[in-house]
Structure 1
Amino acid sequence: MDKKYTIQKSPFVVPTTDGKLIEEHFGNATDGNSQVSIAHMIAPSGWSEPFQTPEFDEYTYIIKGKKQFIIDGDTVILEAGQSIKIKKNTRVQYSNPFDAECEYIAICLPAFSMDLVNREEG
């Protein structure tokens, strides 16, 4: 009989070169699920990513610290307990220019993949 649930005890740790911790609990890298991805992230102080225009909706919930979003030219800063939905095909840059690390959950629909994130060079 198929189990009706899956407990994730060993998320896939995405290799990074920028000091950011990415633990994918469900998604392409972990269980081959291309419908949705759920990841736990810790972004160190001073971290940033290039601008990107993902082909997925991304929901972010801030657990600790603050995170900066530049969304179509608007600068938005979220703090612990706040969340945001950024619609697919929106140009966005994520960063943590603040003194403390930022811990958050990211959910992507469909699931995050490098083929869909469309990061800009430079």
Structure 2
Amino acid sequence: MSKKYSIQKTPFIVPTTDGKLIEEHFGKATDGNSNISIAHMIAPPGWSEPFQTPEFDEYTYVIKGKKQFVIENETIVLEAGQSIKIEKNTRIQYSNPFDQECEYLAICLPAFSMEAVHREDE
């Protein structure tokens, strides 16, 4: 009888140059799944990404600290215990302009990929 579950003990650590820790537990880089990606992230104080317009819905749950979202032209700050869904094809910028690190979970449907995120040049 085959297993009906899969335990992830060795997530894929995505290489970054901005100090952010990205541990993909399920997704394209880890298990080839293109339907969903689930990643644990830790963004250092002062971290930010360029604006992007992804082809996937993204759900974020903040575990610790605060995370800033610029969605279209609106700025929103989430704190620990709060979550948000951002619909695909929405222009967004993620950042942590605060003085403590931000730990969060990100879930993308379909899975995150560099080809589908459409980051703007910095």
Q: TM-score range by the shorter chain?
A: over 0.9
Question: For this pair of structures, how many residues does the alignment match?
Answer: 122
Match in the other structure for 1:54: 54
TM-score, normalized by length of structure 1? 0.99
Unaligned runs of at least 5 residues, structure 2: none
Which consecutive aligned stretches of 4+ in structure 1 deviate over 6 angstroms post-superposition? none
Instruction: Tell me the CA shift for residue 52 of structure 1.
Output: 0.1
Structure 2 Cα separation of the partners of residues 2 and 25 of structure 1? 21
Structure 1 Cα separation of the partners of residues 16 and 32 of structure 2? 20
Instruction: Tell me the CA shift for residue 18 of structure 1.
Output: 0.1
- 1:44-82 CA-to-partner distances (Å, cap 9, x unmatched) read 000000000000000000000000000010000000000
Matches within 5 A, 1:1-122: 1-122=1-122
- 1:84-119 CA-to-partner distances (Å, cap 9, x unmatched) read 000000000000000000000000000000000000
> SS of the counterpart of 1:67?
strand
Structure 2 Cα separation of the partners of residues 63 and 113 of structure 1? 23
> SS of the counterpart of 2:115?
helix
Instruction: Tell me the CA shift for residue 41 of structure 1.
Output: 0.1
Structure 1 Cα separation of the partners of residues 2 and 52 of structure 2? 39
TM-score, normalized by length of structure 2? 0.99
> SS of the counterpart of 1:29?
helix
Name the Cα RMSD after superposition. Answer: 0.4
Structure 1 Cα separation of the partners of residues 2 and 82 of structure 2? 36
Unaligned runs of at least 5 residues, structure 1: none
Identity score, percent = 80
